[in-house]
Structure 1
Amino acid sequence: MADDKSGRDKQADDAERRQQQREIAAELERGDEREPPVVVEELADFEAALEELTFPATGAEIVAAIGQREIESVKRSYRLEELVPETDEETFDSPAAVRVQIQRPTVAAAMKRVVEASKTLRNTDFSWAQRNAYEKTFQELEAIDADDDDEGIRAISDWIVERIHDKETLPTSRAVRREAAKFCRTNGYEVRNDEWLGI
């Protein structure tokens, strides 16, 4: 591969894609950990519908094909279009990648809002690492706020979207973690310094 800008860009894209695949595999292995609130039979039926699509597929293609399909979770029912960002920039390499996206529906719905809001920004790259940090923050909020109605996830996703619109930039993952920790402490949830939100 040539040592020029396009060669370096391709290497960076390949490295990011490999990292995504490793994280998807790790998520699938951890499927029996906290949550996933989606009924297992629902995921099996859903994956059968996904097999009819050609991958890689964009979020917009997936939503257009099966966006009205309902997925039952422990808390409520979701349509796929509520969980997958409807953009051409969001690409899923396989049905397993979509499954990882939807198996935590409250996190997926929050990330959909953030991803779609980020598309309004010019010249902004929403990297996989930053996305992953946002998702981890939402997952931690879900674990802390498990008995409530995901007020923490809603509050932080609202905060991120407001920052995108007001400041026209994505907040850093550190700023998101700090805001989430502030929310937790304000609402009486303990956050230790050695935890993800303990910033």
Structure 2
Amino acid sequence: MADDKRGRDKQAHDAERRQREREIAAELERGDEIEPPVEAEKLANFEGELEELTFPATGNEVVAGIGDHEIESVEGSYSIEELVPETDEETFDSPAAVRVQVQRPTVAAAMKQVVEASKTLRNADFSWTQRKAYEKTFQELKAIDADDDDEGIQAISDWIVERIRDKETLPTSRAVRREAAKFCRANGYQIRNDEWLGV
């Protein structure tokens, strides 16, 4: 491969794709963590509908194809269009990638808000690593305030969306973690310095 901009971009894209595939496999293995309230048997019908889509598929294609499908979780019922960002920039390489997205509905709904708000930014690079850091922050908030109607997740996703609108830029993952830690401490949750939110 030539050592030019196109070749380097292709290598970077391939490396990011391989990383996403590894993370999807790891997520599927960790199905028993804090939130996946969607049980595997409840996803069986959903997976049948997923097989009818052609992959890779964009968020818009997934929502257009199966957006009205309902998934039952321990916290309520969610439609796919509530969990998958409606954008052509969001691409799912396989049915497993969509399944990982919807297994944690609270986190997926928050990320949908953030991804759709980021579409308004010009020349914004919302990298895979930054997305994963945002998701991890939401997952940590879910673990901390699991009994509080996910107030922390909603507060931080709203904060991110406001920052996107007001400052016309994506906040850094460190800024998101810092804001999440402030929220937790203000609401009486202990955050240790060696934890993800302990910045």
Matched residue, 1:86: 86
The list of structure 1 runs, each at least 4 consecutive aligned residues, that deviate by more than 6 angstroms after superposition, is none
Query: What is the TM-score of this pair, normalised by structure 2?
Result: 0.99
Please report how far the alpha carbon of residue 33 of structure 1 lies from its aligned counterpart in structure 2 after TM superposition.
Answer: 2.0
Letter in 1 for 2:42: E
Q: Which amino acid aligns with 1:150?
A: D
CA contact 2:34–2:142 (8 Å) conserved in 1 = no
Letter in 2 for 1:57: A
The letter of the residue matching 1:36 is P
Counterpart in 1 of 2:150? 150
Are the equivalent residues in 1 in contact too, given 2:85–2:112 (CA < 8 A)?
yes
The answer on whether the counterparts of 2:137 and 2:197 sit within 8 Å (CA) in structure 1 is: yes
Asked whether 1:56 is paired with 2:59, we answer no
- Gap regions ≥5 residues in structure 2: none
Counterpart of 1:7 in structure 2 is: 7
Structure 1 residue 148, shift from structure 2 partner:
1.2
Answer yes or no: is 1:197 the counterpart of 2:197.
yes
| Secondary structure in structure 2 of the residue aligned to 1:160 | helix
* Corresponding position of 2:171: 171
Q: How many Å separate the matches in 2 of 1:34 and 1:17?
A: 26
Q: Aligned to 1:120, what secondary structure does the other structure show?
A: coil
Matched residue type, 2:28: L
Partner residue of 1:67?
Answer: 67
The one-letter amino acid of 1:111's match is M
Please state whether the residue corresponding to 2:85 is helix, strand or coil.
Answer: coil
User: Would you say 1:28 and 2:62 are equivalent positions?
Assistant: no
Cα offsets for 1:140-170 (capped at 9, x unmatched): 0000010110000000000000000000000
Q: Secondary structure at the match of 1:46?
A: helix
Q: CA deviation at 1:45?
A: 1.4
Secondary structure of residue in 2 paired with 1:35 = coil
Give 1:39 shift: 2.8
Matched with 1:138 is 138
Deviation of 1:42 (Å): 1.8
For residues 16-57 of structure 1, give each alpha carbon's deviation from its aligned partner in whole angstroms, at most 9, with x where no partner exists.
Answer: 000000100110111122221113222121111101111000
Aligned residue for 1:170, secondary structure, equals coil
Indicate the residue corresponding to 1:115 in structure 2.
Answer: 115
| Same amino acid, percent of matched pairs | 84
Paired residue secondary structure (2:78): strand
In structure 1, distance between residues paired with 2:186 and 2:178: 12
Q: CA deviation at 1:136?
A: 0.1
Contact (CA 8 Å) 2:35, 2:142: kept in 1 or not?
Answer: no
What CA RMSD, in Å, does the superposition of the two structures yield over aligned residues? 0.6
Range moving further from structure 2, 25-34 or 82-91: 25-34
Q: Deviations over 1:84-114 (max 9, x none)?
A: 0000110000000001101000000000000
Shift of 1:81: 0.1
Normalising by structure 1, we get a TM-score of 0.99
Where 1:134 maps in the other structure, the secondary structure is: helix
Question: Could you tell me how far apart the structure 1 residues matched to 2:42 and 2:158 are?
Answer: 29
Gaps of 5+ in 1: none
Local SS of the residue matching 2:55 = coil
